[in-house]
Chain A
């Protein structure tokens, strides 16, 4: 699989990725998404402790061209927020699967992961 779509992650059709470690899910946006958005200048994220509901908006991302919604791929309580993005939102462009992560969620319904795409499915989704 392309390095732009890591094989070990799950993906939403809204171009968020999910890295699962136990009951925790780290969430960010994909390489494809950051490339479509252009230079990212601001990421507005919820606070630690807030509850996310799958398929609901949980924040916004602003690029030089536009502001758009972020959708939660899974439900749960936010246990970590990437505070570094406040000063360095460009990390979402530079390292979307690493330093550009956005939130970590303690999942309340891990079964929702079954609704997400694997890397091959996401590659097909972006090619359509």
Chain B
């Protein structure tokens, strides 16, 4: 398959996070990416948990627009965590019930497209869900948080959000500069959907934006497979998934 030609040799799968410090947790993305770009680390698949403090992850566009910076500050003052990520899109829920996987692959001289990297990202996730008995698909769900063509959906609801950042030149173009492609997926394993919806909508309302998300458009892994997580805290649910993802991606890579 043509996409598979973009899969680099020697991919290393690591579980690397700092759940006590959301900014450090996020900064690890570009620090690791730059190390990959310089050839100091092999191509990486990083499995990581969001930091323990509940909140949202917003984009640079979110905070650049209107009253975005002030809206973020007000949420922080109210005790929520607000982190600014380097990938695009819109706000996503963060906190102890959220798990991420990031591909940090060096730029390639091959013809490469964002679509191809999204397919490389979503294919193993769909396969992993299938072995849990969950039939998934990719597509857009208007009204869902950070909507995009390559959401992973189960039962028509968004379960996994995806995003990319290309460093070392424009996306979709060949580059011989040191750089990397970050392809990232974020899955709420155990998040209160009502709370997440309200917090995201509060951020945009405070920003002066008319953008809103609809609670019925997304779901969590725990809602889809409640028996697997019986009696577990959100942090335990997330650790359970992270552990299995590391095993899964090691086999996949």
Give A contacts to B, CB under 8 Å: 14-15, 29, 32-33, 36-38, 41-42, 44, 60-71, 86, 128
Contact = CB atoms under 8 A, between A and B. Distances in A.
B164 A65 contact: yes
A128 B111 CA distance: 10
B106 to A, nearest CB: 15
Given A41-B88, A69-B169, 19 more contacts: A14-B169, A14-B175, A33-B170, A33-B173, A36-B170, A37-B171, A37-B172, A44-B60, A62-B61, A63-B88, A66-B164, A66-B171, A67-B166, A68-B169, A68-B170, A68-B171, A69-B168, A69-B179, A86-B64
B86 interface: yes
A11 to B, nearest CB: 12
B165 interface: yes
A41 to B, nearest CB: 7
Q: Which of B115, B165, B169, B174 has the most CB of A within 10 A?
A: B169
A34 B109 CA distance: 19
A42 B88 contact: yes
Given A62-B88, A68-B166, A41 B172 contact: no
Contacts of B148: 64-65
B241 to A, nearest CB: 25
A42 B172 contact: no
B166 A69 contact: yes
Contacts of A14: 169-170, 173, 175, 177
Interface string B93-112: 00000000000000000000
B167 A68 contact: yes
Chain B contact patch, size range: 20 to 34
Nearest to B179: A69
Contacts of B64: 42, 44, 86
A117 to B, nearest CB: 14
Contacts, number: 83
Interface in B34-65: 59-61, 64
A108 B182 CA distance: 34
B125 interface: no
Contact of B163 (A41, A42, A66): A66
A62 B163 CA distance: 11
Contacts of B179: 69
22 contacts: A14-B169, A14-B170, A14-B175, A29-B170, A36-B172, A37-B172, A38-B114, A42-B61, A42-B88, A44-B60, A63-B88, A65-B88, A65-B114, A65-B118, A66-B87, A66-B164, A67-B164, A69-B168, A69-B179, A70-B170, A71-B169, A71-B177
Contacts of A60: 60
Interface in B80-137: 86-88, 113-115, 118
Contact of A63 (B115, B171, B177): B171
A59 to B, nearest CB: 11
Nearest to A16: B170
Given A65-B164, A69-B166, A36 B60 contact: no
Contacts of B166: 66-69
Contacts of A15: 169-170, 173
Contacts of A33: 170, 173
